[in-house]
Structure formats: C-alpha cells, structure tokens
A and B are shown apart, each in its own frame.
Chain A
Amino acid sequence: MTTANPSIDQANTLPLKEKLAKTTAIQRRRAFLLTLPLVLFLLISFVFPIGQMLFNSIHNNKVSAVVPDFATAIQQWDGQGLPSEATFEIFVKDLAKAKKVREVGRTVGNMATRINYEMPGSRSLFTKSARKAGKIKQGPYKEALIKIDKKWANPQVWLTLQRASHDISPSFYVAAMDLKYNETGEVVEADELYQIYLDNFIKTLWLAALITFICVLLAYPVAYLLSVLPLRQSNLLMIMVLLPFWTSLLVRTTAWIAILQTEGVINDLLVYFGVIGDDGRIQMIYNQTGTIIAMVHILLPFMILPLYSVMKTIQPTYMRAALSMGSKPFYAYRRVYLPQTIPGLAAGTLLVFILAIGYYITPALVGGQDGLLISNLIAYHIQKSLNWSLGAALGTMLLVVVLLLYWVYNKLIGIDKLKFG
C-alpha cells in the first residue's frame, strides 16, 4: 500500500475505478505501440505481398487491357453461334490498334498467351491475325477475319474470349484443380493425361505425413535419452542435434548427395565390402528415397527439440510410483509416461508436417523426377512457364492448408510455446 499523495489527490478528482481504467488503457496502448513498428513492417513486406498474390490468382486483365472496347462488347453476346457483325468489327479494330502497342502487359502477345492457357494452340491465331487486322478496312468484318484464319469461325474461341474478358474469374482455380472448360464452356474434368495438380497435392501431403511419422520414431528415443542423461552428457549429445540444426540446408543437402549418389560414399563402401557388385550400385538419390532421407534429416531437430523440452519436465517419480505399485511396465509406460509427452509430440508433429508440405529446395535438388512436389510446381509456373496466375492459384490452395494447420497448432499448443535449444 503506497502512501496517498495529497497534491495528486486534489488535482485528480476522478474516482479510483476510472483512474485505473485510464492507466490500463495507457499501458495497453504502450504495449501495442511497441509491437506496432514490426506489425507495420510485416504488413508491407509480408502480408500485403501475399494478399496481392491471392488477388493475382483470380485477377487477370490481359484481354480487357489489350482489346478494351471488345471486352465490353462481347458481354452482350448470348453465346449462341458466333458474335454479331458489330462485335467482329470492334474486335478487328481493337486488334489493329493493339498491334501497334509495345507497352508491357498490353500487347497482342499478352492476350494470346492468356487465351492459349485455356485453348492450347491458339496463340499464333492471335499474333498472326493481329498482323493482318490492320489491312481490313471495311466490312463484312466477320468474313474478312475468318478468311485470315478459319479458326475464327469456331465458337469456342469466342466463348473463351468472353470468359477471359472478365478481369476477375475463377479460371485459374479451374486449371489448378485439374479441370477445364469444354467446347460449350462447361467445367469438366481435364483429360487424365494432363492431370497433375491434384495428384501432386495428395502426393505432397502423403510424403509429409510419412516424413513426420519417421521423424517421430527417430526423435522419441533420442529425446528421451537426452532428457534422462546427466546434464554434462546430455549437453554433449545435444550438440549432435543442434549442429545439424544450425548447419546450412544446402550444406546438408550437398552432404547427402555425396553420400547417396551412385558413385558416392555408401555405394563405394558396399562395393568395397563386396555386398554389391560394381555394376549393381543402388540408386538412392534423385528419387523418392533420397528426398525422404534428406528431408527427415533436415526436419528431425524440429521434432527432437519440442519433445525434449517436454520430457525434461516429466518427473521420473511418477513412473517409479506406478511401477512400485505393481503396475506392469508396459501398462505404466502407456498410462503414465506416454500421455505426458503428448504435448511435445503434438508440437513436433505439427511443426514438421507444416514445414514438410512447403518444402522446395531439397526435393528440387535430390528428388529427380519424383521431386516434383507442389512447391516445385508453383515455382515452375512462376519461373519457367510464366503462368503467374496459375502459380498464384496453386500457392493460395497450399496456403489455405498450411494456415488451417497453423490455426490448429495455435489452438492446441500455442505458438508462443515454441522454443529453440
């Protein structure tokens, strides 16, 4: 109890309750202000970029930016037969105008690429016709255009154009879910030979689950050993967990390549000891096996550390009590020890699973043809095929899964419980 200060009491006649409320409010604001710089920073550097990516996955204006008048006009078309002569005229004029544009994102090539995603093989239709569109000076425009290329008489071209004229459309999600628009504009399953994303999602999740499972099996005994050993010894062994954890991911991946490749350390040893012949070298890398080994190695510390920190707090007396009261060892283990390690197990499992489904580098380097996980497909579309919207759509789908798991993690464990070392 502090002594009341008369001068303050006189100056401040507010009731105690309100004063308290005011002080609390100030303290709340202070605490919040401390986090504000970082929150703002992350909004700009992280949240906003991801938000924009979400937007990119449904937004693509490559048609309306190139042939703006046509994009408005085609909306009137009912989708039956071919669009009207007037619409054709607008299209031809827009196309001739667009041919002269060299501004990034507004050329005929951009529109052609956009349409080509949904109608493979139609790219040159646009670029070729644009070159000739300027020569069409008078109607009938419909006939003139079809004379340039008879594909213009195919209603599917116009249906696709009409769909793509909307700046906001779900068409990239349609592609990301192995679906496509058919000749009449309905959403149907894509040809099986072209289906890749759904299988890949499942393969990624499956692989992540397998890796997590292996990590649990390997981490549990090690974490237990570390938690029961005397401090000096456990600290020494801890280095064997922490050093890989602190070593560059690429260094560890390189190491696995050196160890597992056909001319690598393990194969050489096997040949040396005569276990296999020189021509019977085992393929252990650039396939699924290599990916699993390298990823388990990289993610194992993320399982050991949370398990260890939980096991450390478990009193050995409980087990002794159970055993001394005549419990069978198996029963005591199952009912007393294991339940107490569940929080650490849950934390490690979720963390490893979440990290595993987003992995990119290791599968890309040691996965060979099996190394195409969902992250790699996203990178492929961003960096190679340049279908950025499809990449963004796949990214959004992956993000939803990860955030869901993150939410579960937060509910179950609380992210503030996370510790390293």
Chain B
Amino acid sequence: MNKIIKKTLIAAAVATTMVAGSAQAEDITVVSWGGAYTKSQVEAYHKPWNGYTGNTVISEDYNGGLAEIKAQVEAGNVTWNLVDVELSDAVRGCDEGILEVMDHSVLPDGANGVPAAEDFLPGALAECAVGNIVWSTVFIHDESKIQGVDGLKDFFDLGKFPGKRGLRKGAKPNLELALMADGVEPADVYEVLSTEAGIDRAFAKLDTIKDSTVWWESGAQPPQLLADGEVVMTTAYNGRVFNAIASEGKPFVINWDGQVWDLDLWVIPKGAPNQEATMDFVKFSTSTKALADQASWIPYGPLRKSSFGLVSSFHSDPSLDMAPHMPTAPANFTRALQNDFEFWADNSDQLNERFNAWLTK
C-alpha cells in the first residue's frame, strides 16, 4: 500500500513537469520475432547501443513475412526502421524493390582484424541485408511423458508414439521434414521436391499425421502447446525451446536429427526514416562482440566467424556452455538441411496453395 502511495506522489510531481511524450528524432523502431529471441537482441544489441549513443530502440514484434513492409512502403508511410527477416524474404523483398540496398563496406572488421566481407559466413551479406544469426527448426518432445525418441522418423510414427503433433501452418519447412522422415537425405531434399512426384511424396507423408496435427503460427506457441499437453511432439525454433529448458526448467528435449536451418538478417524498408542512425545500429549489432553476446542469451549461431570463439555461457547460468546448443555445433549438424531460399522464392505461392487446399480437404 505504501508503495502505491509513494508511486502516486512521485507521479504527481513528475506529471507537473512532464511534456507531451514525443519520440526523439534519433529513436529507431526495430522489428523482430518477439519472445526470447527479441529479448536476446534487446540485451545484446539495444541496451548497449543505447548506452553508447543515447538513442533509444523501440522494439516491436511481428510474425515474419513481407506483407507489413510492403504495405508501409507502398503507402509511403514507413514507420519501421529495421526488420529481422528470413533469407528468402530478404531476397524477394530486395527483388521487388521494397528494401534499401545495404552498403556492406561500412561494416566493421572482425575483432581479429579480418575484413567484414570475409568474416561473415557465406550468404550472410545479401544485396539488401546483413545477416546476424543462424536459427533452426527442430522437433521437440517432453522427456517426462515419452522416452526413446529416435530421429525424425519417430515424429511421423503415430504407432510408436501416439498423440498429437504440432507443425507450423504452412508448406515450409514441413515438406522438407516429411521427405527427410521418409528417408530422403538432406542433400537431395530440394531435388526431390522440385518434381511433382516429390511433392506428392511429401504430402503423402504429411497425410499420415494430418488428423493428429495441431497447427501453430507464431514461434511462441509450440513450447506452450507442449507444456500444456496439447501435443506430445512439435516442431519449434531451437532458441525458444532452449530458453524454456534453461530458464523455466521444462523437461523438453531437442531432437537435432533433420533440423532445417536458415539465416535471419537485418533489412531496412525502402524510404525508412533515420537511416543513418539505423545503419549505425546495424554496424553495432552485427559486430563480433554483439553477436557473441547475443549467443549467451539464446543459442542462435552468430554469423561472424570471429564471434565463434567468444561465445560463452548462458547469461543466468555460468556453468551452462552455449556452444553445444548451437544449430551449427558439430554434434547437432550430422543430418541438417539448409533452407533453400531460391526454391521457396520460386515455389512458395504454388506450394502454399496446395498446402491450403490439402489442409481443408
């Protein structure tokens, strides 16, 4: 009670001197995927940057995709300064002219003096984008409920592990997962998928669990579905699951077999305001140290080689080494597939149409 009175008194004092809140010119709005991922960016990028420059980062969440950026750009009213997108969207958005071209020459050298162009992993520097992390779609289960899950094929085995499955609502990356579970090697997945027979095969595999599937749309959902007992296994983004395990002590297990990994990149919507400050933030947040720092909050792999050696332990638990939890850790990488952005740029319209038709039938 006293606390509240105190708050009120202070508020009254503040209110008299307060002016109408208006954003400063140098504030930037950075849009990302929310949850534990945004939290890691706030801790590793936003707060330190604010400390150096005094500029504030306003953090907003979204569910991916280019719709919002496209709408803002076409409306000529761009309010987002920087957006965290998947590689396929970065490429498509760049092709359609709704993203600013990025000048990679301004990016700082790695902490070990290696020029940025060589320090970043291949593919991380796209025409309109600068990459920051590697993330992965994995499947998870609750160890306290089921044991002995052996690889991706068990995800599709309702006989061995009865119960609901959780999958992302959309064709990507379910078709890849279905093929890998059906015995296709990661290296051949996209080759198989580019034939009509391959697509049929993937859908046929999905058919086997269709009636037992719960479809999720945002990354925050799958850990919750699993925790609530709505599903016994679900696909999920590895970082968020790790946080549910490490911070909340959930008995979840990550199965790395058949993981589908992808890059996340920064892009600037065309015509966004404050581009100078935004670029400054991009330079800061993709520096060797910031990327390494972020990895202590969430196990998404930094895209600079110079950051690898600096990845330390989990922020709240010094005994928990982060490196083995990265998608790129050798033990996790035995059967991994990189999401093919070009395949999806070409085929996502058609495959999602078929997916929607399949879903409603």
| Chain A residues within CB distance 8 Å of chain B | 101-110, 112-113, 116-117, 120-124, 127, 193-196, 199-200, 203, 262-263, 286, 368-370, 372, 377, 380, 382-387
Contact = CB atoms under 8 A, between A and B. Distances in A.
Contact of A386 (B66, B95, B350): B66
A386 B70 contact: yes
B101 interface: yes
Given A116-B346, A123-B346, A107 B95 contact: yes
A104 B270 CA distance: 9
Contact of A384 (B67, B97, B101, B361): B67
Given A102-B97, A109-B95, A386-B67, A121 B347 contact: yes
Contacts of A263: 228-230
A113 B70 CA distance: 14
Given A368-B215, A385-B352, A103 B346 contact: no
Between B65, B67, B342, the greatest number of chain A beta carbons within 10 A of the residue's beta carbon is seen for B67
Contacts of B350: 120-121, 194
B346 A122 contact: yes
Contacts of A112: 95
The 5 closest A-B pairs by CB, nearest first: A109-B95, A120-B350, A196-B357, A107-B97, A109-B96
A246 B29 CA distance: 36
Nearest to A102: B97
Between B70, B230, B347, B357, the greatest number of chain A beta carbons within 10 A of the residue's beta carbon is seen for B357
Nearest to B73: A104
A109 B356 CA distance: 25
Given A104-B74, A107-B96, A109-B92, A380 B356 contact: yes
26 contacts: A101-B97, A102-B101, A103-B97, A105-B97, A107-B96, A109-B92, A110-B96, A110-B97, A113-B92, A113-B96, A120-B346, A121-B350, A124-B342, A124-B346, A193-B358, A194-B354, A194-B357, A196-B357, A199-B357, A263-B230, A372-B359, A377-B356, A383-B67, A385-B349, A385-B352, A386-B70
Interface residues of B, number: 39
Interface in B272-303: none
B142 to A, nearest CB: 15
Interface string B49-80: 00000000000000001110010011000000
Contacts of B157: none
Contact of A104 (B98, B169, B346, B361): B98
B138 to A, nearest CB: 23
A268 B354 CA distance: 38
Contact of A372 (B214, B342, B360): B360
A377 B353 CA distance: 10
B230 A196 contact: no
B345 interface: yes
Contacts of A262: 229-230
Interface of B: 65-67, 70, 73-74, 92, 94-98, 101, 169, 194, 203, 213-215, 228-230, 270, 342, 345-350, 352-354, 356-361
B357 A106 contact: no
Contacts of A122: 346
Given A121-B346, A194-B354, A203-B360, A108 B95 contact: yes
Given A105-B74, A196-B360, A117 B349 contact: yes
A112 B215 CA distance: 31
A109 B67 contact: no
A348 B232 CA distance: 44
Nearest to A387: B349
A369 B359 contact: yes
B65 A384 contact: yes
Given A116-B346, A262-B230, 12 more contacts: A101-B97, A104-B74, A104-B96, A109-B97, A120-B346, A121-B347, A193-B354, A194-B350, A199-B361, A263-B230, A385-B352, A386-B70
B212 to A, nearest CB: 11
A196 B346 contact: no
A107 B93 CA distance: 11
A327 B356 CA distance: 57
Nearest to B230: A262
Contacts of A120: 346-347, 349-350
A62 to B, nearest CB: 10
Contacts of B354: 193-194
Contact of A370 (B65, B347, B360): B360
A195 B357 contact: yes
Nearest to A281: B229
B67 A106 contact: no
A286 B214 contact: yes
